[in-house]
Amino acid sequence: MTTMCRAFLAFFCILLATLPVAGESLRIKAGCLFPLTGPGALYGRDSTVAIKLAQKHLESLEPFGYPQVDVIVEDTRSKSLRSLQIARRLIDEDRVDFLCGVVNSSVARAVSGLARDEEVFFIGTDHASPALTSEDLHPYYFRVNNGTRLSMRAGAKYIRETYGNRSEPVKIAFIGPDYEYGYQAWDDLRRFLQQQGTEFEIAGEYWPKVFETDFSPYIQSLLRTDADIVVNGQWGLDFVTFVKQAAQLGLFDRLQFMNFDAGGNYELLAELENDMPLGLVLSARHHVNWPPTERNRAFVEEFREEAGRYPSYAAQGAYAGILAMAEAVRNAGGTGDKDRIRESLEHLTLSLPEDPDGFRSKMDPVNHQILQVQAIGKTIFNNSFAPAKVMLGDWRIYYPPESWPTFKNGS
């Protein structure tokens, strides 16, 4: 055998060794971090159900070369230190290819720092702080749910459409949680209002602590302002508690109430039932009744059959996260080349339940934030999705920009 033949044979053997064995499917190992107990546990439980739905969907796509995703779900209890310990174990002991999930933005920033140091991809599926896609951005972080920046961009447009023709500035009061999520939302809303030339005045800012139980002092202060609008940045139980107390004190009879990011979450509508006032302007990152597409209806119904309830917004984020991993690894040809996986994620497009017909969610390649449509509606009577008695309707739809919006300071 000539030297050239031996060299060719050796190369051919190496090539064969790198190819999948017939019948052997490509697999991904992911470690997902969610609160399964304590505050935010519903979002973790819904995310776990949605992960199962995504795995089932990927099984149907296996003949087309889609990898299967094995997922380890761990309970963070919404604690940063615990989350870091879990993430470290998932990386060192379980040897995961991806980290994913996380509800709280502060926890996400901590986990993202570890992912950067360990060079492990972290797919954010729930948290929303713009910091993760700006000053904290690194090559291993990607987010597949709408962040507060796009929510506030849509909210600023809604305010301009509604109040922009007035001769005097619109007066806005803001109340939000006293941590980064609330600060970023208020900063971004003001910047977008200024950017689009909307004249406004700040009628007040209020920062109750997270998990506050008595909002009456804040509500009384809001009632004493001359605000036209109160923009609320709360979510979860804080939002439910605030709405109940504000309704009792007559806030909604005096001011137009708006929450552009999380107030329209289905689980809040279900929790409030008849206590949800009509005429509030709300939005969410996923709606069970919008878009009215076959894909969204099928996702919502499949989730209901699996869980016995309709999904919170968190479910679609987790579903998107699993599909994003599979799409990226499929396009990269495996889990071994991180540069190819990163490139695939940077040019990712996905068809998701929340996408209206003719639109696909797409990743911004520079800031690693997925760009999605935002639907803002008003609360109306609708008991089609029990136990909720009120749903959103009278929709206004806002398509995302071509790229992730940044401001002059680079944030």
Helix axes 294-307, 41-61, angle to 10 degrees: 120
Above 80 in pLDDT, residue 4? no
145-153: average pLDDT: 92
What pLDDT does 406 receive? 82
Q: Say yes or no: do domains 24-147+292-371 and 149-287+374-398 share a fold.
A: yes
Instruction: State residue 130's pLDDT score.
Output: 84
Strand 374-381, strand 390-398: pairing = antiparallel
Residue-wise pLDDT tens digits, 161-197: 999 889 999 999 999 999 888 999 999 999 999 999 9
pLDDT tens digits for 18-43?
344 434 568 999 999 999 998 789 99
- For residue 158, give the amino acid letter: Y
Span 121-139, average pLDDT:
92
> How confident is the model at residue 104, as a pLDDT?
87
CATH code of domain 24-147+292-371? 3.40.50.2300
Name the residue ranges covered by the structural domains of the chain.
24-147+292-371, 149-287+374-398
Q: Considering the entire predicted model, what is its pTM?
A: 0.89
Confidence of residue 10 (pLDDT cuts 50, 70, 90): very low
Q: What is the DSSP pairing of strand 281-283 with strand 229-232?
A: unpaired
Residue-wise pLDDT for 313-327, tens only, equals 999 999 999 999 999
Per DSSP, what are the bridge partners of residue 98? 30, 121
* Three-state DSSP state, 267: helix
- Domain topology for 149-287+374-398: Rossmann fold (3.40.50)
- Residue 379 host element (H or E): strand 374-381
φ and ψ at residue 326, rounded to 5 degrees: -65, -45
Q: How many residues does the chain have?
A: 411
Confidence check: pLDDT of 408 > 90: no
Q: How confident is the model at residue 281 (pLDDT cuts 50, 70, 90)?
A: very high
